[in-house]
């Protein structure tokens, strides 16, 4: 089916490592992108493709894909990383771009 | 630095047509794809559709019957038209640049590298 499933909410202690996952059949063959969104702001890309960081994104953000699951890992989470995170994937067989439902990350 | 700015009517009545324009500054529209995304209040993101600088379009199947996206590269603008709106279309509408970073036989893969600030469109009688 064409959908991407994420955890609703995840929490992490300051300075610890957290992984947010995104599951979907379209991820078996395609790339996943990750976006960070803070309240009242547009999303910002943090990971694209297999594991690429746009300019200005700290290297504590990394991405990976295994089977039908993509993961965003934040190594040494900071207070400013508290936000909603969305995965996306493109299913070119049906010309469809999918968004995951989003994960609210809380940094304790 | 590329900048995008949405403009258009913010308050509509049910059955009316939503029309938004995204103005692009600081760069050319060529080479890239241009996208509309929306976010209902308190909810997640939804892809509406994309257009290339040459006018090739892809739409979300769930909205396809009501959506038209067009581009005017001479004005550095692209536009969204959504007909027969209902309260379910109330959302913040974002425009974004879709940067293609990989191509294969099935098409391209891109990511949204620049976004507008978003504009709230409310549908209410």
Q: What are the tens digits of pLDDT across the range B54-108? A: 999 999 999 999 999 999 999 999 999 999 999 999 999 999 999 998 888 877 8
Residues B1-22: tens digit of each pLDDT:
999 999 999 999 999 999 999 9
pLDDT at B57: 94
Cβ distance B112 to A49 less than 8 Å, yes or no, reads no
Among the listed residues B12, B107, B3, B19, the one whose alpha carbon sits nearest the alpha carbon of residue B69: B19
CA angle B17, B21, B25 (to 5 degrees): 175
Residues A36-71: tens digit of each pLDDT:
999 999 999 999 988 999 999 999 999 999 888 999
Closest CB from B35, B46, B106 relative to A93: B106
pLDDT at A95: 78
Cβ distance A97 to B116 less than 8 Å, yes or no, reads no
In whole angstroms, what is the distance from residue B17 CA to residue B31 CA?
A: 30
In whole angstroms, what is the distance from residue B113 CA to residue B91 CA?
A: 21
In whole angstroms, what is the distance from residue B4 CA to residue B94 CA?
A: 9
Residues B24-50: tens digit of each pLDDT:
999 989 989 999 999 999 999 999 999
The tokens describing A89, both together, are 């994937």
pLDDT at B49: 96
Element (H, E) at B21: strand B18-25
Any idea which residue has 């040459």 for tokens? B54
Assign residue B15 a region: left if phi > 0, alpha if psi is -120 to 50, beta otherwise?
left
Four-CA torsion B82, B95, A82, A78, nearest 10 degrees: 170
- A9 touching chain B per CB within 8 A: no
Name the residue in chain B with its Cα closest to that of A104: B44
- A86 touching chain B per CB within 8 A: yes
pLDDT band at A1 (very low <50, low <70, confident <90, very high): low
The tokens describing B89, both together, are 């279309």
The tokens describing A60, both together, are 């504590």
In whole angstroms, what is the distance from residue A80 CA to residue A75 CA?
A: 13
R_g over Cα of chain A = 13
Helix, strand counts (H, E) of chain B: 0, 11
In sequence order, the β-bridge partners of residue A73 are A19, A62
Any idea which residue has 């990394």 for tokens? A62
Name the residue in chain A with its Cα closest to that of B113: A45
Any idea which residue has 């199947």 for tokens? B61
pLDDT at B107: 79
Q: Which chain A residues are within 8 Å of B118, Cβ to Cβ?
A: 42
């Amino acid at each position: 089916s064409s959908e991407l499933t994420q955890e609703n909410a995840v929490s992490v202690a300051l300075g610890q490592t957290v992984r947010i996952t995104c599951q979907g059949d379209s991820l078996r063959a395609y790339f996943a992108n990750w976006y960070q969104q803070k309240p009242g702001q547009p999303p910002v890309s943090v990971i694209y493709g297999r594991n690429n960081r746009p300019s200005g994104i700290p290297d504590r953000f990394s991405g990976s894909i295994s089977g039908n699951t993509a993961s965003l890992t934040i190594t040494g989470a900071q207070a400013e990383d508290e936000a909603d995170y969305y995965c996306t994937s493109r299913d070119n067989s049906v010309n469809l771009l999918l968004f995951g439902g989003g994960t609210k990350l809380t940094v304790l | 630095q590329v900048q995008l700015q949405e403009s258009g009517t913010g308050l509509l009545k049910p059955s009316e047509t939503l029309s938004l324009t995204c103005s692009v500054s600081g760069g050319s529209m060529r080479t890239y794809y241009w996208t509309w995304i929306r976010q209902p209040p308190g909810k997640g993101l939804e892809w509406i559709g994309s257009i290339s600088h040459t006018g090739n379009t892809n739409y979300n199947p769930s909205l396809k019957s009501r959506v038209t996206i067009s581009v005017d590269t001479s004005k550095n603008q692209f536009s969204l038209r959504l007909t027969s709106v209902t309260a379910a279309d109330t959302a913040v509408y974002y425009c974004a640049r879709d940067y293609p970073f990989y191509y294969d036989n099935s098409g391209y893969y891109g990511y949204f590298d620049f976004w507008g600030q978003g504009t709230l469109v409310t549908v209410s009688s």
